[in-house]
Amino acid sequence: MTTFSLADLGWSAAFQSQLALEELETLRPARIAEVQRHRAVALTSDGTENVTFPGDIPAGDIAVGDWVLLETGAPRISRCLDRTSEIARRAAGPGAERQLIAANVDTLGIVTAATAEFSLPRLERYLVLAAGSGAQPLVILTKADLADTAPFLEMVRGAARDCPVVAVDAHAPETAQEIAAWTGRGHTLALVGSSGVGKTTLTNALTGRSDATAGLREDDQKGRHTTTFRALRPILGGGWIVDTPGMREVGLVDASEGIGAVFSDIDDLAHACRFRDCAHDGEPGCAVAAAVETGALDAERLERWRRLVAEDVRASETRAAARARDKRFGKVVREAMTERRRKGDPEA
């Protein structure tokens, strides 16, 4: 059985500083490698363990990559340590709940393919996701052997701006070396992207595994789903990688910071608008509209920014309404319990 030191697993002073003196003596640090419905797989300096959750920590609150403290003598999580980064999206459905994807990730690799399925709006969504996560973004353009990558790289760099971009043939032997700058001892790289863009092939190249992969459907060039769950795996030569299932939707929630970072050119222009609350939709003295007229700002980019801002506002309003509803329900329960105690109900 292969074992790793805590430093190999990514342990750092940021996590060490969170431990109280008594915890150093009674609890064991571990890193979550897989999360399942009622248990998780954790990596410790002694090896791999199947661990359970305490009653006050639901499985949905633990992410692959999390650092937790395990009870001594029992494979059970005592508590989860604060994260250095958190990758999360809006969960599917009518609500606006956050769904954890991975935690304590150093680099978020946004994988997109140089094929007909390339989508600039989807790439921008992933960039927003990365910008609000605390992880450093990296755009990986795959299938570079199948097409002229120049137009794709131009679009990527226009959206990603200062974000590093690398074009690779995921099947080529040199792929691992091309991404080596974002791997290494204790470093964690997570891959996100649509099905079929090459995430599993990249993971195989970096880990030496041979997980099954699926290419693009010939009829519509759309990817086929291969990875079915998130897992933390060791990279050859050091470091860790989180391969994630392909995402059909990249819903955003609490994304205002990320939107501002990815569309900072629009934010910079907005500072020159005549009115502070300018909506950039026909107001006089609008610097954003002026930039569109002169060609300095692409009108389609402005429209994509509008859609993301509107989506984030709706999600925030939905979450606020849910919190208010829960607060009202809690107040009703407390008042009912108080009334039962007043009447002498022994079960209150």
Q: Which residues make Cβ contacts (< 8 Å) with residue 237, sequence separation at least 6?
A: 176, 180, 183, 184
Digit-coded pLDDT (tens) for 255-289: 999 999 999 999 999 999 999 889 898 899 999 99
Digit-coded pLDDT (tens) for 95-110: 667 889 999 999 999 9
* Nearest to 258, CA basis, from 127, 135, 163, 119: 127
Average pLDDT over residues 129-152: 92
Q: Which residues make Cβ contacts (< 8 Å) with residue 309, sequence separation at least 6?
A: 256, 259
Q: What is the pTM of this model?
A: 0.83
Query: Which one-letter DSSP state was computed for residue 268?
Result: H
Locate 81 and state its tokens: 């340590």
Q: Report how far apart, in Å, the C-alpha atoms of 225 and of each of 169, 228, 278, 293, 300 are.
A: 19, 8, 43, 42, 30
Q: What's the pLDDT score for residue 281?
A: 87
Q: 86-243 adopts what CATH topology?
A: Rossmann fold (3.40.50)
3-state helix, strand, coil in the chain (%, to 5): 35, 20, 45
Q: Sign of dihedral through CA atoms 268, 271, 273, 279?
A: positive
H or E element in which residue 163 lies: none
Domain residue extents for the chain? 6-80, 86-243
Question: Is the predicted pLDDT of residue 215 greater than 70, yes or no?
Answer: no
Length of the chain: 348
Q: Which residue has the higher pLDDT, 58 or 140?
A: 140
Question: Which SS3 state, helix, strand or coil, does residue 59 take?
Answer: helix
Are 159 and 120 in contact by the 8 Å Cβ rule? The answer is: yes
Beta partners for residue 100, in sequence order: 88
Into which CATH architecture does domain 6-80 fall?
Answer: Beta Barrel (2.40)
Confidence of residue 219 (pLDDT cuts 50, 70, 90): very low
- Pick from 222-231, 237-246, 264-273 the range whose average pLDDT is largest: 264-273
HSE, CB side, 13 Å, CA atoms: give it for residue 106: 16
Q: What's the pLDDT score for residue 44?
A: 94
Q: What's the pLDDT score for residue 218?
A: 44
Question: Is the predicted pLDDT of residue 338 greater than 80, yes or no?
Answer: no
| Cα–Cα–Cα angle for 240, 246, 143, rounded to 5 degrees | 80
CB environment 92-131: b (16+ within 10 A), e (fewer): eeeebbbebbbbbbbbbbbbbbbbebbebebbbbbbbbbb
Question: Is the predicted pLDDT of residue 295 greater than 90, yes or no?
Answer: yes
User: Which of these ranges, 17-21, 37-41, 222-226, has the smallest mean pLDDT?
Assistant: 222-226
Q: Which residue has the higher pLDDT, 217 or 188?
A: 188
Q: Which residues make Cβ contacts (< 8 Å) with residue 329, sequence separation at least 6?
A: none
Q: What's the pLDDT score for residue 48?
A: 94
Average pLDDT over residues 293-299: 95
Question: Is the predicted pLDDT of residue 90 greater than 70, yes or no?
Answer: yes
Q: What's the pLDDT score for residue 102?
A: 95
Ranges of H-type helices in the chain: 6-9, 13-16, 21-26, 120-131, 150-160, 175-178, 199-207, 256-262, 264-270, 287-294, 299-342
